Amino acid sequence: MMLWIELNQEFEALCEKQSPPLDLLKRIWNYCDWCLANGSDDVQTGAALGFCEHLMDTPKRIELLPKIMSRSDFLGIRNLLEYHNAPAEVDDCLRTMWK
């Protein structure tokens, strides 16, 4: 879990840069996606709770989501996003970011 908390903090800092490193942000997301699909229960839980639930925490993060993940990836973690965001907020993000 601690790994994902630290990766989440680094992800946050990278998103706030004037020119966010999209390649690195994509690699962090791809690692998370791999952990969700292939990891043990503890690995999946760490990725879900320490990272996925926070992907919509800031406007900068939301703005970058379509650049680092597909619409289907977003839909696949929708239930995790709704832990910290209202379903209407997730719908709005989906509608505005993946036009």
Note the pLDDT tens digit of each residue in 20-62.
999 999 999 999 999 999 989 999 999 999 999 999 999 999 9
What pTM did the predictor assign?
0.93
Judged against a pLDDT cut of 90, whether residue 99 lies above it is answered with: no
H or E segment to which residue 59 belongs: helix 59-68
Mean pLDDT for 79-84 is: 94
Task: Work out the end-to-end distance of the chain between its first and last CA atoms, rounded to an integer number of angstroms.
Answer: 34
Residue in the block written with tokens 């996925």: 52
Mean pLDDT for 1-17 is: 95
Q: Which of 84, 83, 81, 43 is nearest to 94 (CA)?
A: 81
* Residues in contact with 18: Cβ distance below 8 Å, sequence separation at least 6, in sequence order: none
